[in-house]
Amino acid sequence: MTLLHGFVLGGLEVGAVSLAAPLFNGIIRKGKARLQGRAGPPLFQLYYDLRKWWGRGEQAAASVSYVHWAAPYVFLSATAGALLLVPIFSSAVPLDAQGDLFVLLGLLALGRAALTLGAMDSGATFGQMGSSRELALGALIEPLIVLTLIAPAVAAHSSTLSGIAAFGNQQGISVLTLGWLLAAAGFLVVLVAETGRIPIDNPDTHLELTMIHEAMLIEYSGRSLGVLHFAAALRQAVLALLFVNLFFPFGLVAHPGLGGYAGIAALDVLKLVVVALAFVVVEMLFAKMRFFELAGLLGTAMLVAGAAVAVTVVLA
């Protein structure tokens, strides 16, 4: 991929996913409300909220430093950078020749660093509490991400996400071997954990003591808060896209042509709606787990991912 091609595709992908990400969030909220017998907020509620936050002034603690102001933008750009490594409109990704899944891992960690440092900047107890929990979870999630992505990568003999997606598309349905499916199952836990959803975290909570992600935003207001919420919605969409287009990359070709891009985009939307509905069902069926029991859940997922790697190595 030439630099110009990458630049154009990257711009399009960042723009399109940015536009769609709040809607993805809206579908989950609406679906959940409906299943609970409530009317729920409008589908486009997050767009209204974002416009409100972005246009408002900010209140910040007297004790904050530059970290507080920089953190939301670093979190946002790290998430957007991760997006540039994920196959979305074709199996080829904008940063094809500049990064791979290890860079994706690094960018997710960079986002986590920005979020946790920003939360600790004011000295607010709740922010530090959120950071403490997020860091502990992050330490367990990172090996989980690597193990779940490594199994398909070993099968595809490539550590780039485009290489894995192209391999999966080329193999067709026969790519869904035991190792591949176990890895996908493990990645589902990553998806839930990284997007702060039940049973790991509760995005709708308003009780400080139970929060993880929301606690880290507690000292933010106005535009910075809007940027953080937007980046979180973007991260949710990016990880969902990573899940569907990496483990089920059917139809993703490297050079689809104009009509092909549109077709893949429509397929992406369909896949995302399915994932959103899956989120809704999970949130309906499970309660949030106690924080100190999460190590068990993540440990189990890690065992599943380890099994995926072992099966892939032995059978492939």
Partner 1 sequence: MSSVWLIVGLAGLVAAAGAAPVPKRLSLWMTAAASAILATGTVLLVTEGTTVQIALWSPAPYMHLALRFDALSAVFALGIGVVSAAACVFAVGYSRPRAADDFALPIFVLAMVCVVAAANVVTFLFAWEAMALSSFVLVMGDGLARPRRMAAVLYGGMTHVATVAVTGAFFIVAHAAGSQDFARMSAVGGRLSPALASVAFLLAVAGFGTKAGLVPFHVWLPRAHPVAPSHVSALMSGAMVNTGLYGIIRVGAGFLGPGEAWWGVGLMAAGCLSAVLGILYALFEQDMKRVLAFSTIENVGIMTVAIGAALTFQAHGLDALAAAAMVAALLHSLSHGILKAALFLGAGAVQRTTHTLSLDRLGGLARTMPVTGAVALLASLAISGLPPLSGFPGEWLLFRSLFVLGGEPVGALTRMAALGALGAMALTGGLALACFVRLSGISFLGLPRSQEAAQAHDGPWTMRLPLLGLGAMALAGGVAASVVIRAVTPAGEVLFGQRGVATSGASQRIVDAGGGALSLLVVAAALALTAGLAWLGLRLYFGATRVERGPIWSTGVVFRPSMQYTATSLSKPLRSFFSRVLLPERRVVTEFHAGSPLPKVVHYSGRVPPIIEERLYHPARSLAIWSARRVRGLQNGSVQLYLLYIVGTLVVLLVVTQ
If one asks whether residue 15 binds partner 1 (CB under 8 A), the answer comes out as: no
- Minimal distance, residue 300 CB to partner 1, in Å: 14
Residue 19 interacts with partner 1 (CB under 8 A): yes or no: no
Q: What are phi and psi of 18, to 5 degrees?
A: -60, -40
Degrees to nearest 5, angle at CA 289 with 129 and 46: 70
Q: Which residue type occupies 39?
A: A
Q: Does 171 bind partner 1 (CB under 8 A)?
A: no
Binder of partner 1 out of 117, 181, 253, 277 (CB under 8 A): 117
State which residue, 132 or 210, has the beta carbon closest to partner 1: 132
For partner 1, the binding residue among 34, 38, 56, 290 (CB under 8 A) is: 56
Q: Please pick, from the candidates 2, 65, 206, 259, the single residue that binds partner 1 as defined by CB under 8 A.
A: 65
Q: Which range, of 31-39, 126-134, 185-193, 259-267, touches partner 1 by CB under 8 A?
A: 126-134
Q: Which of 201, 193, 200 is nearest to 141 (CA)?
A: 193
Say if residue 94 is preceded by a cis peptide, omega within 30 of 0: no
Rule CB under 8 A: which of 174-213 touch partner 1?
208
Task: Return the residues of window 209-238 that contact partner 1 according to CB under 8 A.
Answer: 218-219, 222-223, 227
Distance in angstroms (rounded) separating the CA atoms of residues 192 and 47: 23
Contact flag: residue 16 with partner 1 (CB under 8 A): no
Kindly state the smallest distance separating residue 20's Cβ from partner 1, in Å.
17
Cβ proximity to partner 1, 86 vs 275, nearer residue: 86
Q: How many CA atoms lie within 13 A of 281 on its CB side?
A: 6
DSSP 3-state assignment of 102?
A: helix
Stretch 36-55 residues interacting with partner 1 (CB under 8 A):
54-55
Shortest distance (Å) from residue 188 CB to partner 1: 18
d(CA 88, CA 35): 30
17 binds partner 1 (CB under 8 A): no
Write the DSSP assignment of 256-303 as a string of letters.
Answer: -HHHHHHHHHHHHHHHHHHHHHHHHHHHHH-PPPPGGGHHHHHHHHHH
